Amino acid sequence: MATFPLVINGATVPGAEVLAWPVSRLERKSAPIDLPGAHGVLDQSVGSTGGEPRFKARTFTLTVRERCAKPEDQLGLRLQQWAGRTVTAQMPTHPNGWFTGVVDVFEKRFTPNTVVYDIVMQANPWYFDAAVTTISVTPANGGKAFTLTPTGFTVAPLVTTTATVTITVGTAQWSVPVVKDRVLPGLLLRPGSPVSGTVSGSSGTCSFSWRGGVLL
């Protein structure tokens, strides 16, 4: 039976092998209300999102085998490291991203030199990209144009600047001092709606970064 390395929080766990990794099916959230005097229903879950669907948490399970001299102690170590914590975990067949969520660790079986356990995660439905998308702009006194292409879900890009700049998108404008990974109120990337604007300033750089994702 093929096995794969265990990758937690972006790091390979030495000596740990993933034997199986089932994930529950994707389920959309809905909150239907009957429309008095009209046909059909209204789904309140998308009423404030411009029609963007919302999805339920998913259960992602990694069955792991570790070879070790003291299996009981090793399980105790993993419980201390991960149980009840929010972590990222890679699906072996999709090495360029991860699920993220709160996990529990459950014993399955011991042998004299191995322990097998389940890492069970209540996961965000999106499988996030390992790589961060970054768009860098060199400000200009007349304004340097930029365009941000959205992901499959609404996300607030993080802004980093090395000098004071002014960011303009449509009628919205932000004066931004030197910052690192700051969210600008009202600046959102929505699916299907690229955001274009300008960055004005006399020096430095301005970058926008965000992490995308897919539904598996």
The pLDDT tens digits along the chain (216 residues) read 577 999 999 999 999 999 999 999 999 877 667 767 777 666 565 555 556 788 899 999 999 999 999 999 999 999 999 999 999 999 999 999 999 999 999 999 999 999 999 999 999 999 999 999 999 999 998 899 999 998 888 899 999 999 999 999 999 999 999 999 999 999 999 888 899 999 999 999 999 999 999 998
pLDDT score at 192:
83
Q: What is the pTM of this model?
A: 0.81
Fold of 133-214: Jelly Rolls (2.60.120)
For residues 52 and 154, give the distance between their C-alpha atoms in angstroms, rounded to a whole number.
8
So what's the architecture of 4-28+42-125 in CATH? Beta Barrel (2.40)
Q: Give a three-class secondary structure readout of 35-81.
A: CCCCCCEEEHHHCCCCCCCCECCEEEEEEEEEECCCHHHHHHHHHHH
How many degrees, rounded to 5, is the angle at CA 158 between CA 137 and CA 91? 115
- Domain coordinates in residue numbering, the chain: 4-28+42-125, 133-214
CA dihedral 105, 2, 26, 150 (to 10 degrees): 100
pLDDT score at 80:
96
Residues whose CB falls within 8 Å of the CB of residue 38, separated by 6 or more in sequence, listed in order: none
pLDDT score at 41:
64
pLDDT score at 52:
77
pLDDT score at 35:
67
How many degrees, rounded to 5, is the angle at CA 58 between CA 55 and CA 64? 160
Same fold for the domain at 4-28+42-125 and the one at 133-214?
Answer: no
Burial class (CB in 10 A: 0-12, 13-18, 19+), 130: middle
pLDDT score at 44:
61
